[in-house]
Amino acid sequence: MASSMTLRVTTPAGKKPIRKLPSNIEIGAGTTVEEAKRIIARHTGIRDYHRIAIVDTTTKSIIKDRLSILAQNPGVQSTGDIAVKDLGTTLPQPQPHHTQRN
């Protein structure tokens, strides 16, 4: 396997494009999904890389295993493409407030 590869980066069909999304990224042979998300976040200016989802363009599903090697994903190997979605901010669930009665 090559020491690095260039992946073409797109936005899934029907989704709003991410501002400053690079058209290509260079990844190493051992780059994990999480590391790729950090690279993309750095390029786009998104502070929280957890907002980013990497989508396999052949199956149209999010690659959820953040520790998997991106270059070893069958869809990524066959096409050299990934799609990137911005999941937006996730708000924590509000906790109930307990009041003390006197």
- Residue 29 and residue 27: Cα distance in Å, rounded? 7
Overall number of domains in the chain:
1
DSSP 8-state code for residue 47: S
Q: Please report whether residue 19 resides in a domain.
A: yes
Domain CATH code at residue 78: 3.10.20.90
Strands across the sheet with 81-86, in order?
A: 24-28, 4-10, 81-86, 52-56, 61-62
Residue range(s) defining the domain that contains residue 47 = 4-86
Q: Indicate if the alpha-carbon torsion angle 9, 48, 61, 68 is positive or negative.
A: positive
Is residue 101 situated within a structural domain?
A: no
41 in a structural domain: yes
* Structure tokens belonging to residue 23: 């058209």
The reported pTM is 0.81
Q: Tell me, what DSSP letter sits at residue 73?
A: S
Residue 95 is assigned to a structural domain of this protein: no
Does residue 1 have a pLDDT over 60?
no
- Confidence at residue 102, expressed as pLDDT on a 0 to 100 scale: 62
pLDDT in tens, 56-93: 999 999 999 999 999 999 999 999 999 999 998 766 66
**13-59 pLDDT tens trace:** 888 899 999 999 999 999 999 999 999 999 999 999 999 999 999 99
Would residue 96 count as lying in a domain? no
